[in-house]
Structure 1
Amino acid sequence: MSTGAPGSMEFVRATPRPGGAIVSAVGYRSRGQRPALHRGLPSPYLTLIFSLDGPVVSGSTPEQAMGADAHRTEIVVGGLHQSPAFIAQPEHEAGIQLAVHPLAARALLGAPAAELAGPVVTDGAAVLGAEATQLHDRLQELKSWRARFDVLSAYLRTHDPFAGVRPEVAEAWTWLARHRGAGTLPGLAAHVALSERRLTTLFRAETGLSPGQAARLMRFQYAKESVVRAATADRPLDLSRIAADHGYCDHSHLVRAFRQYTGLSPTAWLAEECRNIQAGGHHNGEESTP
């Protein structure tokens, strides 16, 4: 995100229930910012946004996000992706962004995460129906973040957020998360007592990703956290150490991963996101285990 004229940026975080469907919940509001193009990075979580100040304008490329065929929707659902989404950020915006565990998609969104893996973003009203539209209207009426989070929590509450997910797939995701994406497919398949081919078929049908793709996303997520922590602590950016800590072969391997998921090198991404990081807006589940 580019720097611009002085303005205000506010980020307010709720504390989701540990082990539940919601990994993070962030309320955001900005005023007086220079319009900019933001990269929404791939992560091991689904994205659910309720915009409170006009539609979210996005695209799969910068040109689409800034053009006439951009996606415009006030309720955004985003699946698991392998490349960034581009969001046109206006002078002022407000909303609530949730990071949702992908295995909770059936219970919360009415469909497995695999069905959301096509477009960069999906119109949330089309996925969630009239009840979500009514919720969006209610969130706009409320005046405090606490009240908004309370209403949203009641809407998302479910007895079993992972209902309908095969136990082998659920355990495979847990195993990958425990290994922070550094485990092997043979080791994972042996752990859940399935062949590699059968596991991949079931895992992809549920999430839209292969186990290897999910593992790489998790590994990148943790590496990106380390890059951000170094920047916020004003420490030298030791990419070789970060690569070694997160299962990358070397510095170059980490840089290639950053280019795949952000389109930029780590240093170029940090420079672009400087304003967001300084304001504390870079956390959306990053401090939690996928």
Structure 2
Amino acid sequence: MGHSWALQRPHPVLRPFVARYLGYAQDDVTLAVHRGLPSRHVTLIVSLAEPIDCAGLPGAGRLQALVGGLHTSPALITQSRVQRGLHLELDPLGVRTLLGVSAAELSGSITDLAEFGADLARLPERLSEAPDWPSRFALLDEVLAARAVEPARPAPELDQAWRLLRHTGGLVRVGDLAGEIGWSRRHLGERFRTELGLAPKQAARVLRFERAGHLLRTGCHDLSAVALAAGYYDQAHLSHEWRALAGCSPRTWITEELPSLVEEPAG
């Protein structure tokens, strides 16, 4: 299967809101259904080929471009033989700035990108007309930077809580997290869910799962070692969580999905 990838960080003004841009081009795709896994990011995907045929979450359908909120079950994407497009990883606390809604309003669902404004509705066509990946990335910088003129960040305590959760890979206890930022556990839970759409415990669960996926992508296929490093009790706990969040066992995912995925960038 021929495939190519292009990775780039966004313009510095966008880095508080967007982790990276990923361009992908794949020919002769053989995996019929790709699992879009839960992660720390709100995802923005633009197809430069056929519309994205997705299922498994509310709002799914055939869309040329979509935004996927934080979720705790897989999005199921039916794949055609040829795949061309761009995948953006958005910080959930940055989507208010870029899309005008909270991550909670997107949580657990898929939304047509066109619903967020005429400039974003035109983006698939404009990206398709661009001649190469650098031109497409520059266009993304231009369109998104225009939306980041007046950032809408949440309370500093909430930003700190989300940063600490990410830094620990979801291993910090919610009570300790609340104490660290000076809020009660109940207040943290309410504010966190209102802004991100997941409770802190749910977010920690996703982060542990994401850590396990990172280890699998980078070549560690000893499931007992992966479980220990990602903060699970044992391999059985890892396998149970993987089936719940990915819809399949870790071994099945390694066999079916791993060969076609982009390698994790250094750093």
Q: Tell me if TM exceeds 0.5.
A: yes
Opposite residue 111 of structure 1, the aligned amino acid is V
How far off its partner does 1:287 sit? 6.3
Q: Could you give the per-residue CA deviations for residues 34-62 of structure 1, whole angstroms, max 9, x where no partner exists? A: 4611101011100001111121110008x
Structure 2 residue 255 is matched with structure 1 residue 266: no
Spell out the pairing of 1:46-85 with structure 2 (5 A cutoff): 46-60=42-56, 71-85=61-75
Opposite residue 215 of structure 1, the aligned amino acid is A
Opposite residue 2 of structure 2, the aligned amino acid is S
Is the Cα contact below 8 Å between 1:28 and 1:94 reproduced in 2?
Answer: yes
Residue 195 of structure 2: aligned partner: 206
How far off its partner does 1:159 sit? 4.6
Spell out the pairing of 1:136-285 with structure 2 (5 A cutoff): 136-157=124-145, 158-159=148-149, 161=151, 163-230=152-219, 237-277=221-261, 281=262, 283=264
Q: 1:143 to 1:78 in 2, by over 3 A?
A: same
Q: For 1:177 and 1:32, how far apart are their aligned partners in 2?
A: 36
Q: For 1:215 and 1:33, how far apart are their aligned partners in 2?
A: 33
Residue 113 of structure 1: aligned partner: 103
Where in structure 1 are there 5+ consecutive unaligned residues? Answer: 1-6, 232-236
Deviates more, 1:48-57 or 1:28-37: 28-37
Is the Cα contact below 8 Å between 2:60 and 2:111 reproduced in 1?
Answer: no
Question: What TM-score comes out, normalization by structure 1 length?
Answer: 0.85
Is the Cα contact below 8 Å between 1:57 and 1:88 reproduced in 2?
Answer: yes
Q: For 1:59 and 1:202, how far apart are their aligned partners in 2?
A: 30
SS class of match (2:161): helix
Q: For 1:221 and 1:113, how far apart are their aligned partners in 2?
A: 18
Residue 112 of structure 2: aligned partner: 123
Residue 42 of structure 1: aligned partner: 38
What count of residue pairs does the alignment treat as equivalent? 263
Opposite residue 19 of structure 2, the aligned amino acid is V
% identical equivalent positions: 37
Is the Cα contact below 8 Å between 2:119 and 2:143 reproduced in 1?
Answer: no
Residue 91 of structure 1: aligned partner: 81
How far off its partner does 1:118 sit? 4.1
Q: For 1:212 and 1:25, how far apart are their aligned partners in 2?
A: 28
Question: What TM-score comes out, normalization by structure 2 length?
Answer: 0.92
Opposite residue 72 of structure 2, the aligned amino acid is Q
How far off its partner does 1:133 sit? 1.9
Give 4+ residue runs of structure 1 displaced > 4 Å after superposition: none
How far off its partner does 1:91 sit? 1.3
Residue 104 of structure 1: aligned partner: 94
How far off its partner does 1:93 sit? 2.1
Q: For 2:25 and 2:218, how far apart are their aligned partners in 1?
A: 23
Deviates more, 1:222-231 or 1:202-211: 222-231
How far off its partner does 1:90 sit? 0.4
RMSD: 2.1
